[in-house]
């Protein structure tokens, strides 16, 4: 199984990176091939809304580091998308990544929708400083549904909360549950292969 992680935060050593890396670590322990992309290492520009990606065969005309991610997504069985909640929504980096998916995927209500569904697994991992896990639930549900409309097989990790109360790496229960989630993702795929 091939899994890529997208860390939609500029904080390379931050909570989002820690969470995505623990999920990937659990998957790697089960034999998955993993790779992560840090927004702090990438130059990814916002979508221009030019529609060129749907008018010809070239795809996205913006030649930046999103091209690397498009290429890796072609071979990925699953994507882990780490999304910190800023101002009640995903980070700007997460939104840029999401908007740039338009070059590859279009929602069912779009005139550009193609019947070839991705069916890739997409693990949405939200995290926030606030301790109330339900505080931004309507937004998280909306985001989950948006990716389902794009035909992703969405898996949602329970939101990681209370990240202002000390170092995340000291929360052993969280580390274990994140690794277990990553491991279970690979085991589930392996069971399907043998069915």
**Predicted local distance difference test score (pLDDT) of residue 73:** 93
The pTM of this model reads 0.92
Sign of the alpha-carbon dihedral angle for 156, 47, 5, 120: positive
In the three-class reduction of DSSP (H, G, I as helix; E, B as strand; rest coil), residue 112 is classed as coil
Q: Which residues contact residue 117 at a Cβ distance below 8 angstroms, ignoring those fewer than 6 apart?
A: 151
Tell me which residues of the chain have a pLDDT lower than 70.
108-109, 113-118, 193-195
Provide the phi-psi class of 119: left if phi over 0, else alpha when psi is between -120 and 50, else beta: left
**Predicted local distance difference test score (pLDDT) of residue 93:** 96
As beta bridge partners, residue 89 has 86
């Amino acid at each position: 199984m091939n899994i890529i992680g997208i860390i939609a935060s500029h904080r390379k050593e931050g909570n989002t990176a820690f969470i995505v890396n623990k999920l990937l670590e659990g998957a790697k322990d089960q034999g998955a091939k993993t790779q992560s992309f840090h927004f702090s290492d990438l130059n990814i520009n916002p979508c221009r809304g030019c529609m060129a990606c749907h008018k010809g065969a070239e795809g996205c005309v913006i030649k930046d580091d999103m091209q690397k991610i498009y290429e890796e997504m072609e071979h990925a069985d699953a994507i882990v998308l780490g999304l910190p909640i800023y101002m009640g929504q995903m980070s700007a980096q997460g939104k840029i990544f999401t908007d740039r998916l338009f070059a590859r995927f279009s929602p069912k209500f779009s005139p550009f929708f193609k019947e070839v569904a991705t069916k890739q697994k997409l693990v949405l991992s939200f995290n926030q400083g606030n301790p109330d896990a339900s505080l931004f639930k309507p937004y998280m549900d909306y985001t989950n549904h948006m990716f389902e409309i794009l035909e992703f097989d969405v898996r949602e990790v329970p939101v990681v909360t209370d990240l202002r109360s000390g170092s995340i790496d000291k929360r052993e229960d969280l580390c274990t549950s994140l690794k277990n989630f990553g491991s279970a993702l690979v085991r589930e795929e392996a069971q399907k292969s043998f069915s």
